[in-house]
């Protein structure tokens, strides 16, 4: 059944004046994302939008036949930005397939590494990449009247961040020159060091394995992490205050700006930060340990929480084709017909997917992207929903707030918000921040959520440090559980990559990988139109949205379109692959780690 997507409101206007414009590749992101549009300048709207990816790699192809213990090391290379998220998710999937669980201390160490990764990546993306779209230099070029207003608009949170006007905040984010731009780079360095303390190497972890970690759990490990964390808490408080001031100003200065990047509220979050006291990685108990995560998994449709059950989430995933460059696999033999609970598994589920690439010319009337179209089938309505991640933080905070399950000394869900408590820093006092569920799923709210989630990750890291250090002081320092690879097995890992939902789906036969499909946020957010004609989230968020840029067709920058697309934190390596033909080996250098004797 096709998804019914409410159309955005179109005011009666003048006859269309369509101009084709494209941005390919999109700058300030990694990968080969292209946005192709038709702009109606007479009515100041985007009339049409297509999202494309121009490169194919094929991890799902060359993972077959590998030793499953290599999966984490191989899949981390999917991306040079969030590789550790892939390793962690792969470990979760392998733990399920092997029937093991990590020792509690290992879980706290992984949680600390992932928290540092969120702080690192979100900070560098928000302050050094996204905020270039809102900085003084950019606003002066695209909306000079807005900058004029900003120069006299007092910043409500000046007492926190120290900038008197909105224009002063904008200037602080000017690339290479602004104070905040440069300070964010230093914070990214510190948080990257925090990550390396826990996972060994950034961004491809050297100490995270199925069954646990190889990190030496000394008291110094945790105090070194904590000392760095305390160096950045004041920056986090100031960042939230600055972001709130600028984003609230944009709503006021440009009435109707809530429509930029707005789409139906269709959000997916697969959960993050395991609770060692609950998680056992058994599929049969996945609902229970999923709900115990410190970021609650869930699917939100039109503002309502449909489910927090990871079993339901898993079974609802469908990989559709439509406008992507692949042949269908539904006539192939299935790898998995029923899950461990006896539920039927659909042929379009990642466990059963076979990747059959068909290179061809791009045609916006037919096939035009290497990204497939993941959808989630609503169990009650039968809709194939084009869920988005809100750039990651928006969906994470939304589901966690609604689920009202997370309750730690530093982070609490309320049912309509998330309260985040940060301790006293070098200059700023103890601070409680509150992210409240907004009215819209749009560009500004995706961006706003990102900086709140940096605070969320920092606050959770305090909790994780306390728990980990407590185990070390109690002498409970076991960090690895030995295991054997079974002859046959299936596993699925659910995690949150920086920019959103991440799942790994593993099938083992004869102790080798028979099928392996990672589904990161990029195909969810950047998918093309599916077999039902439903556009992907980038396309949906941009198409029919109004244009507020003051420039005309001759010097048009597309700043509103770029804000909409970048609000999703696009990162294309996860969505693209390399294709060498019929199994041709380009170069064999060595076999990674565990599988060295099984090449």
79 belongs to an annotated ligand binding site: yes
574 belongs to an annotated ligand binding site: yes
Tell me, what's the pLDDT at 12?
A: 58
In DSSP terms, 516 is beta-bridged to 506
82 belongs to an annotated ligand binding site: yes
Helix, strand, coil percent values for the chain (each to nearest 5):
40, 20, 40
pTM of this prediction exceeds 0.85: yes
Say whether the peptide bond before residue 595 is cis (omega within 30 degrees of 0). no
Q: Which of 588, 576, 567, 580 is nearest to 28 (CA)?
A: 567
* Residue 500: its H or E element: strand 500-509
Tell me, what's the pLDDT at 160?
A: 98
Q: What domains can you pick out in the chain, each with its CATH number? A: 18-575 (1.10.645.10)
Averaged over successive runs of 10 residues, the pLDDT of the chain (599 residues) comes to 42 79 87 91 97 80 92 88 92 98 98 98 96 98 98 98 98 98 98 98 95 98 98 98 98 98 98 98 98 98 98 98 95 97 98 94 96 96 98 98 98 98 98 98 98 98 98 98 98 97 98 96 95 98 98 96 97 51 42 39
460 touches 410 (CB < 8 A) = yes
* Residue 319: its H or E element: strand 317-320
196 belongs to an annotated ligand binding site: no
Given strand 512-519, what is the order of strands in its sheet? Answer: 488-497, 500-509, 512-519
571 belongs to an annotated ligand binding site: yes
């Amino acid at each position: 059944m096709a998804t019914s997507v409410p159309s955005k409101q179109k005011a009666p206007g003048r006859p269309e004046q369509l101009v084709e414009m494209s941005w390919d590749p999109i700058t300030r992101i990694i990968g080969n994302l292209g946005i192709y549009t038709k702009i109606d300048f007479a009515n100041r709207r985007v009339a049409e939008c297509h999202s494309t990816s121009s490169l194919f790699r094929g991890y799902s192809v060359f993972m077959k036949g590998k030793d499953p213990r290599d999966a984490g090391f191989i899949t981390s290379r999917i991306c040079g930005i969030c590789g550790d998220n892939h390793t962690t998710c792969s470990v979760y999937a392998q733990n399920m397939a092997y029937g093991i669980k990590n020792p509690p201390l290992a879980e706290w160490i992984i949680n600390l590494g992932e928290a540092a990764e969120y702080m690192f990546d979100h900070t560098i993306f928000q302050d050094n990449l996204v905020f270039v779209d809102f900085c003084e230099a950019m606003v002066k070029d695209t909306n000079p009247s807005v900058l004029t207003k900003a120069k006299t608009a007092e910043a409500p949170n000046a007492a926190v961040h120290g900038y008197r006007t909105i224009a002063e905040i904008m200037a602080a984010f000017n690339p290479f020159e602004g104070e905040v731009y440069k300070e964010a780079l230093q914070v990214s360095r510190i948080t990257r060091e925090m990550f390396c303390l826990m996972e060994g190497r950034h961004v491809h972890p050297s100490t995270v394995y199925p069954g646990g970690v190889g990190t030496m759990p000394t008291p110094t490990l945790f105090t070194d992490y904590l000392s760095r964390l305390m160096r950045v808490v004041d920056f986090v408080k100031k960042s939230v205050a600055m972001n709130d001031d600028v984003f609230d100003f944009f709503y006021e200065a440009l009435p109707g700006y809530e429509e930029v990047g707005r789409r139906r509220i269709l959000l997916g979050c697969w959960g993050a930060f395991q609770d060692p006291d609950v998680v056992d990685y058994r599929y049969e108990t996945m609902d229970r340990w999923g709900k115990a995560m410190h970021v609650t998994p869930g699917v939100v449709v039109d503002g309502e929480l449909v489910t927090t059950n990871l079993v339901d989430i898993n079974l609802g995933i469908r990989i559709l084709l439509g406008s992507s460059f692949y042949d269908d696999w539904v006539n192939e033999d299935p790898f998995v017909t029923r899950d461990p609970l006896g539920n039927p598994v659909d042929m379009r589920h990642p466990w059963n997917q076979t990747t059959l690439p068909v290179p061809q010319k791009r045609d916006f009337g037919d096939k035009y992207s290497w990204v497939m179209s993941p959808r989630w089938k609503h169990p009650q309505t039968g809709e194939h929903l084009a869920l988005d991640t809100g750039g990651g933080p928006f969906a994470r905070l939304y589901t966690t707030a609604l689920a009202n399950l997370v309750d730690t000394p530093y982070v609490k869900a309320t049912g309509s918000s998330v309260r985040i408590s940060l301790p006293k820093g070098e200059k700023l006092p103890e601070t409680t921040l509150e992210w409240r569920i907004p009215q819209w799923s749009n560009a500004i709210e995706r961006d706003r959520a990102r900086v709140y989630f940096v605070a969320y990750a920092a606050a959770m890291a305090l909790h994780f440090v306390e728990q980990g250090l407590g185990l070390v002081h109690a002498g409970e320092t076991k960090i690895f559980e030995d295991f054997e690879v079974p002859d046959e097995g299936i596993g699925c890992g659910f995690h949150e990559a920086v920019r959103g939902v991440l799942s790994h789906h593993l099938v083992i036969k004869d102790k080798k990988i028979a099928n392996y499909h990672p589904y990161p946020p990029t195909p969810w957010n950047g998918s093309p139109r599916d077999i039902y004609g439903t556009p992907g989230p980038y396309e949906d968020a941009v198409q029919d949205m109004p244009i507020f840029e003051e420039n005309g067709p001759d010097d048009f920058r597309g700043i509103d379109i770029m804000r909409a697309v970048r609000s999703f934190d696009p990162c294309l390596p996860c969505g693209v692959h390399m294709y060498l033909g019929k199994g041709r080996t380009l170069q064999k250098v060595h076999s990674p780690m565990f599988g060295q004797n099984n090449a």
